[in-house]
Amino acid sequence: MDPQMAEAFRGILYGIYVLTTHEGGEFRAMIVSWVSQVSYSPPLLMVALRHNRPALPAIRESGLFSLSLLSRDQKALVLRFKDSTSQGQTSDFFRQASQQGPPSIKGAGASWECRLFPQREVGDHILIIGEVLSTLVNPMGKPLTTTEYGGTYIGQV
């Protein structure tokens, strides 16, 4: 990608989310930002993940994932979960929304528990579509976005 195009892509604003999923008896957690609602009925969310992310096999195996939109006061969590290999963590950061689904982040502004819907390969990413099974809303300040964080993922490794 040429530098001017990369700079233009860095200008696109995104919320910052933690995606969690199960693998065996443990779960994986990673930061994602390419998230969008893609349907009202049924309620569907889309997450774009690079082909090499360790969470992909876990999502496919369990058929479930959760997304938690971080609030500005949770900025420190980005570094904790930025490594997409975060696995098997048990901590005070998580809450269990249901018995079947992966945990979500405590204190997040909103969380969505999703069942895997069809996926689509697009370029060097896979669009994971999730049918929303449940949500949790926490009245928070403002959501953490790429502007407040000071960095934007544009798909480079």
Place of tokens 């790429």: 146
pTM, two decimals, is 0.86
Query: Distance between CA 30 and CA 26 in Å, rounded?
Result: 14
Residues 6+ apart with CB under 8 A from 143: 15, 16, 69, 70, 71, 72, 109
Kindly provide the residue ranges of all beta strands, DSSP E only, lying in 33-124, ordered along the sequence: 35-39, 44-50, 64-69, 94-95, 104-105, 110-122
**pLDDT at residue 145 greater than cutoff 90:** no
Token pair for 76: 């420190």
* 75-117 confidence digits (pLDDT tens): 988 888 876 555 555 556 777 666 667 888 888 989 999 999 9
CB of 83 closer than 8 Å to CB of 31: no
- In CATH, which of 2.30.110.10, 3.40.640.10, 3.30.70.980, 1.20.1260.10 is domain 15-147? 2.30.110.10
Look up residue 78 and give its amino acid: V
What contacts 68, CB < 8 A, 6 or more positions away?
A: 17, 18, 20, 104, 105, 108, 110, 111
pLDDT in tens, 14-59: 899 999 987 777 778 899 999 999 999 999 999 999 998 888 999 9
For the chain, the domains span: 15-147
Alpha helices by DSSP H, listed for 95-145, are none
- Sign, CA torsion 93/26/83/113: negative
